[in-house]
Structure 1
Amino acid sequence: MRPGERLLMKVSATRAFARTAPYVIPALDRAVHRLTRGKVLLSARMLPGVVLTATGARSGLPRRTPLACVPEEDGSWLLVGSNFGRPGHPAWTGNLLKNPEAEVSWRGRDIPVRARLLTGAERARAWRAALALWPPYGAYQARVTREIRLFRLERR
């Protein structure tokens, strides 16, 4: 574990973090990502991350969202719709449910993907992988009554 990582995990599992992080972290990530032409994602210093571009479920417009991810050995990515442990599903999950064709910016490259909501045993395996990468996901799930959505993004 890197220096400061244990403290960051502890802080990120708090309700105070859940109230402020959704506004601060994505805004910083988007700005830095844009300024570095897709080469740097600040939050990826602690967790692997992508910038998801999905079509808005209601607007039909492209929506860019920086997200932590779990990179898989087969070249796919797992996305966790934790919403920092807040009650509602994050908007990007609804966008992927309606429009699964999307794109991720990964290490400075734009990659077309197709999203698939995970269920059953496949979801259980993915959830274990997500918890192994970032244990605070467990605290997020414990705070909400909804089941946190997990998606697998596969290259198109």
Structure 2
Amino acid sequence: MNTAPSSPSETPATQASSRIPPRWFIRTAWVFHRALYRVTGGRVGLRHPSSAVYGMMRLHTVGRRSGAPRVAIVAYVEDGENLVTLAMNGWGDPPPAWWLNLRARPAASVDLPEGSREVVAREATGAERERLWAVWRTLEGGADLDAHAARRTRQTPVVVLAPA
């Protein structure tokens, strides 16, 4: 049972009703998405968010232990000049490596459909977190957001990427 719900509305009933693909499928989709981006020279794979669908961006971090450059394609929404994403690992319990890297070194860059941007990461807390989580609920697939988050033993961080 989840000891740190992502929102007050999470219940065991919503937890039991959520369905996510198996881990092997999620990992295969990530590999395919990165390959599609690479093969098309970046013409396919990124998109702007809309009022109904999240966008896709490439996030460049520095490995917290290796110091090597790392890249992940993640979903995002816009909140004014900020970009907002959820630090989830295909709804798996451990945090994604990119989030651990950002916690160690908050300076990063993102590739968006219109170009690159330097950003600084921070975790949203309190009322800001609840407001941004509610935005994610309004998007396609957002009705299951709380149920998916309830599968995790810790709260899903909401990550704000502010312009550097």
TM-score (ref. length: structure 1): 0.81
CA distance in 1 between counterparts of 2:93 and 2:42 reads 31
CA distance in 1 between counterparts of 2:32 and 2:150 reads 27
1:64 to 71, 74, 87: 71
1:55 to 62, 87, 91: 62
2:105 alignment counterpart: 99
Contact 2:46 2:58 (8 Å CA) reproduced? no
Greater percentage in helix? 1
Alignment of 1:79-98 (within 5 A): 79-98=85-104
Unaligned runs of 5+ in 2: 1-17
The amino acid across from 1:62 in the alignment is P
CA distance in 1 between counterparts of 2:22 and 2:58 reads 20
1:34 to 33, 38, 59: 38
CA distance in 2 between counterparts of 1:141 and 1:150 reads 12
CA gap of 1:63–1:118, structure 2 versus 1, over 3 A, is same
CA distance in 2 between counterparts of 1:64 and 1:95 reads 11
CA distance in 2 between counterparts of 1:44 and 1:31 reads 19
Q: Deviations over 1:73-93 (max 9, x none)?
A: x23211101222211111111
2:153 alignment counterpart: 145
The amino acid across from 1:150 in the alignment is V
| SS of residue in 1 equivalent to 2:70 | strand
CA gap of 1:18–1:106, structure 2 versus 1, over 3 A, is farther
TM-score (ref. length: structure 2): 0.77
Q: Deviations over 1:71-112 (max 9, x none)?
A: 22x232111012222111111111110111001110051111
2:133 alignment counterpart: 127
CA RMSD of aligned residues (A): 2.1
Q: Could you list the structure 1 runs, at least 4 aligned residues long, displaced by more than 6 angstroms after superposition.
A: 42-45
CA distance in 1 between counterparts of 2:39 and 2:78 reads 24
2:19 alignment counterpart: 14
Q: Does 1:24 align with 2:28?
A: yes
